[in-house]
Amino acid sequence: MSAPLLVWAVLLHWAAHGSLVQGGKTWQHCTDLRPLDILSEVVPASGLARGMRVFQVQGVRGFQLTASRPRALGFPASRLFIHCDRFPEEFSIIVTLRVLNVPAKRNEYLFTLMAEESHSVLVGLRYSPNKLHFLFWSQEHSNGWQTRVTFRNVSLSDNQWHTLILAVSGQSFSLTVDCNVPNDVVVETPFPTSLSVKRASFYLGNRRRRKGLFTGLLRQLVLLPGADATPRICTSMNFKVATLSVPAVLQDLPAKPASNEVLKYPYETDMKVTLGSRPPCTKHEKAHFWFNASQRGLYLCNGSTWISMLEVKQRLDYVEEYQNLVTNSETMGIEVFTIPKVGLFAATANRYTPPGSAIYKWTDGKFVPYQNIPTYQAQSWKYFTIGKKIFLAVANFEQNDRGQEYSVIYKWSRRKEKFVTYQRITTHSARDWEAFVIEGEAFLAVVNHREGNNHNIDSVIYRWNPRTGQFETNQTIPTSGAYDWEFFTIGPYSFLAVANTFNGTSTKIYSHIYIWLNGSFQLFQSILTFGAADWEVFHIGDRVFLAVANSHSYDSRTPVPSNFYAINSSIYELNITAQMFVKFQDLLTYSALDWEFFSVGDDYFLVVANSFDGFTFSVNSIIYRWQGYEGFVAVHHLPTVGCRDWEAFNTSEGSYLLYSSAKEPLSKVLKLKTT
Ligand SMILES: [Ca+2]
Ligand SMILES: [Ca+2]
Ligand SMILES: [Ca+2]
């Protein structure tokens, strides 16, 4: 078959609404997810605008505004909406303020967006005693009348600073004060899908009149286009992250809150954003942010230089099919590795013997067959080194033709330039090997899936004995239909996570994370999973994440769900303060079997192996891109068949993904096209 080279997902999904870019750049910039700092826009680089004074109360600074020249506190919306003249359809507004006692019946405007040629308030936020009103103007729905959304019992007049988050989406309006329980209001008129800001201006603390001026202190006013920022802001223990709501912040480890006071006044302790022209960056400014309003750049001081947090160097544009790799038979796992001075290899764990599994070598920009190795329903390969020795271990799921069941460690022979058998280890329907080093000692852990029909068996951790040159049993850990080991370190601590799939009656069972303490692994945390097939650990800045691939939701004791396979797979984040992983994001997957994390330029990605949707094995696997406060957002849909495993690798020519199919003898190399 000579099908033309198929281009998989040529167009970039900017993914705000899951649709494709069609009309060039405008569309793209309309969904620009950068924070728009309204407050800083009023402050000229040279100093303060007329009508503004800085006050400091309780150690926190804010602006006090005067009513004499309300227009001086305004600026054209086009200064913020550079590429697109529509107000976002969904957004959050974050305000930090301190209000004075307002006489009853008096209204004070926090800000307005007004058409130049009329007195219409297109968007506005207004405070009256114990009430907050959000105003907007909708031509499509209310015949050009203003709609007012009122939040009651909002008492801000306690001489304290407060942070408000207003999240708007369609007909639903949600106000959160100091990360307390949100106050949700649903109204008949939805926020307009297309509100033009052409010839409109923002006014700070007023509605272009002297009357209704805000008399308190205003410290922060940010518009965040896109989804509701509240969950990100208020579930995170790191309020530094939270209040800024940009990916940048996440680069910094959470500071341990000294007390609940910190939670109440996040800005007082944590807000370290500087505006204006480039400030100095020394160790005193470390972890401070600089928002360059004129260029919309957000920068983080790392102790010596300002690092750009919002601009990307290289960007993944699309993914293109690069090589069809015909395999010996269906392929469960793949392992890509480099043998120093020899080259780049891929090992495929194949189903049938003969011919068994194969190792391919990257030659002239392609994988070509290099060595066949007899394996018995091989599930995965693991490459590792101990000193100068190079090893490759296979997990065999079945017995050999003589009824013996074992998995094998192969060693690279420099003389033969092949892998040769080194050590056999008795295993029970082995699924996976993990290799790691703790305090200079080498370990190898096998996942035993089941013995006969019994899924509740021990998986084993072996320790390398340098004297005998063999792996010896060091610890056994009870597992239930286990699929995967994942080793990782955080600072001086070593962890091992197991993915438990099935205990004989249910796939809704706990998978466990172990920590190395006093010479052995001890239980650290248990997480409820659904036929967990894979754990993937990854770091973004100083943040540590753990993603689980949930394959299957089945419980013999509960009614059959509509679909066993279309279920969430979850990403957890290490919370340093709580010393545990907490749920960060759920992503809908279709019998997910693997996650692979990779980066391109300054961008981070996760690709999931979706294998089955309940009807067919031909399902799209998805590449998600890290978008800061939005978490991971789908950007590319890749057609796959029974997708089992993903591997990311780089050569001098570029970045690639390799995927294996558990349903057909064809793996594929995809090339990541960048600009
Ligand atoms: Ca593993
Ligand atoms: Ca993985
Ligand atoms: Ca993988």
In the predicted structure, residue 245 carries a pLDDT above the cut 70: no
d(C-alpha 278, C-alpha 280), whole Å: 7
Query: How confident is the model over 548-571, as a mean pLDDT?
Result: 87
DSSP state, 555?
A: B
At CA 192, angle to CA 220 and CA 588, rounded to 5? 80
pLDDT band at 312 (very low <50, low <70, confident <90, very high): very low
d(C-alpha 434, C-alpha 485), whole Å: 6
d(C-alpha 310, C-alpha 300), whole Å: 10
pLDDT band at 469 (very low <50, low <70, confident <90, very high): very high
pLDDT band at 651 (very low <50, low <70, confident <90, very high): very high
At CA 550, angle to CA 549 and CA 551, rounded to 5? 110
353 alpha carbon to ligand 1 midpoint, in Å? 23
222 alpha carbon to ligand 1 midpoint, in Å? 42
Mean of the per-residue pLDDT values for the chain? Answer: 82
**pLDDT at residue 27 in the model:** 38
> What is the pTM (predicted TM-score) of this model?
0.58
Q: Tokens 């809704």 correspond to what residue?
A: 508
- Of the listed ranges 162-166, 248-252, 403-407, the least confidently predicted one is 248-252
For residue 486, which ligand has an atom nearest its CA? 1
In sequence order, which residues have a C-beta less than 8 Å from that of residue 558 and are 6 or more positions away? none
- Tokens standing for residue 578: 């709580």
Does the N-terminal peptide bond of residue 354 adopt cis geometry, omega within 30 degrees of 0? yes
220 alpha carbon to ligand 1 midpoint, in Å? 45
For residue 485, which ligand has an atom nearest its CA? 1
**pLDDT at residue 2 in the model:** 31
**pLDDT at residue 13 in the model:** 23
583 alpha carbon to ligand 1 midpoint, in Å? 21
Which DSSP helix (H) or strand (E) runs through 413? strand 406-413
380 alpha carbon to ligand 1 midpoint, in Å? 9
State how beta strands 603-610 and 297-301 pair.
Answer: unpaired
For residue 606, which ligand has an atom nearest its CA? 2
User: Strand (E) positions, 265-405?
Assistant: 273-274, 289-292, 297-301, 306-308, 316-326, 331-339, 343-350, 357-363, 366-373, 378-386, 389-396
pLDDT in tens, 497-529: 999 999 999 999 999 999 999 999 999 999 999
Query: How confident is the model over 14-18, as a mean pLDDT?
Result: 25
Give me the phi and psi of 558, to 5 degrees please.
Answer: -115, 160
266 alpha carbon to ligand 3 midpoint, in Å? 39
Does the N-terminal peptide bond of residue 257 adopt cis geometry, omega within 30 degrees of 0? no
> Residues 175, 132: contact at Cβ < 8 Å?
yes
DSSP state, 608?
A: E
Distance of CA 159 to the CA centre of its chain: 38
User: CA 21, 22, 27, 29: dihedral to nearest 10 degrees?
Assistant: 50
- Tokens standing for residue 161: 């600073």
CB atoms within 10 A of CB 314: 14
The better pLDDT of the pair 629, 331 is held by: 331
DSSP codes joined into one string, 70-125: GGGGEEEGGGT-SS--EE-SEEEEEEEEEPPPPPTT--EEEEEEEETTS--EEEEE
307 alpha carbon to ligand 1 midpoint, in Å? 34
- Across the strands, what pairs with 184? 174
At CA 132, angle to CA 126 and CA 134, rounded to 5? 60
Give me the phi and psi of 243, to 5 degrees please.
Answer: -70, -25
**pLDDT at residue 373 in the model:** 96
d(C-alpha 158, C-alpha 322), whole Å: 64
594 alpha carbon to ligand 3 midpoint, in Å? 6
Which DSSP helix (H) or strand (E) runs through 626? strand 618-626
52 alpha carbon to ligand 3 midpoint, in Å? 56
665 alpha carbon to ligand 3 midpoint, in Å? 18
pLDDT band at 302 (very low <50, low <70, confident <90, very high): confident
For residue 659, which ligand has an atom nearest its CA? 3
444 alpha carbon to ligand 2 midpoint, in Å? 17
For residue 496, which ligand has an atom nearest its CA? 1
d(C-alpha 526, C-alpha 515), whole Å: 12
d(C-alpha 32, C-alpha 311), whole Å: 12
647 alpha carbon to ligand 3 midpoint, in Å? 5
- Report how far apart the first and last C-alpha atoms of the chain are (Å, whole number): 32
594 alpha carbon to ligand 2 midpoint, in Å? 5
d(C-alpha 589, C-alpha 440), whole Å: 38
pLDDT in tens, 187-233: 888 999 888 898 999 999 999 988 899 988 888 888 887 766 666 55
For residue 382, which ligand has an atom nearest its CA? 1
For residue 447, which ligand has an atom nearest its CA? 1
- Tokens standing for residue 411: 């060693």
In sequence order, which residues have a C-beta less than 8 Å from that of residue 389 and are 6 or more positions away? 411, 412
206 alpha carbon to ligand 1 midpoint, in Å? 58
Percent of the chain with pLDDT over 70: 81
pLDDT band at 398 (very low <50, low <70, confident <90, very high): very high
595 alpha carbon to ligand 2 midpoint, in Å? 4
CA atoms within 13 A on the CB side of 9: 27
For residue 534, which ligand has an atom nearest its CA? 2
34 alpha carbon to ligand 1 midpoint, in Å? 36
333 alpha carbon to ligand 3 midpoint, in Å? 7
177 alpha carbon to ligand 1 midpoint, in Å? 43
548 alpha carbon to ligand 2 midpoint, in Å? 9
In the predicted structure, residue 376 carries a pLDDT above the cut 90: yes
442 alpha carbon to ligand 2 midpoint, in Å? 21
In sequence order, which residues have a C-beta less than 8 Å from that of residue 504 and are 6 or more positions away? 453, 454, 455, 456, 480, 481
380 alpha carbon to ligand 3 midpoint, in Å? 10
327 alpha carbon to ligand 3 midpoint, in Å? 17
The better pLDDT of the pair 378, 353 is held by: 378
65 alpha carbon to ligand 3 midpoint, in Å? 57
Distance of CA 494 to the CA centre of its chain: 23
DSSP codes joined into one string, 230-275: HHHHHH-S-HHHHHH-SGGGGGSPPPPPSSHHHHH-HHHHH--EE-
- Across the strands, what pairs with 174? 167, 184
pLDDT in tens, 30-73: 555 577 888 877 776 555 566 777 776 666 677 888 877 788 88
607 alpha carbon to ligand 3 midpoint, in Å? 9
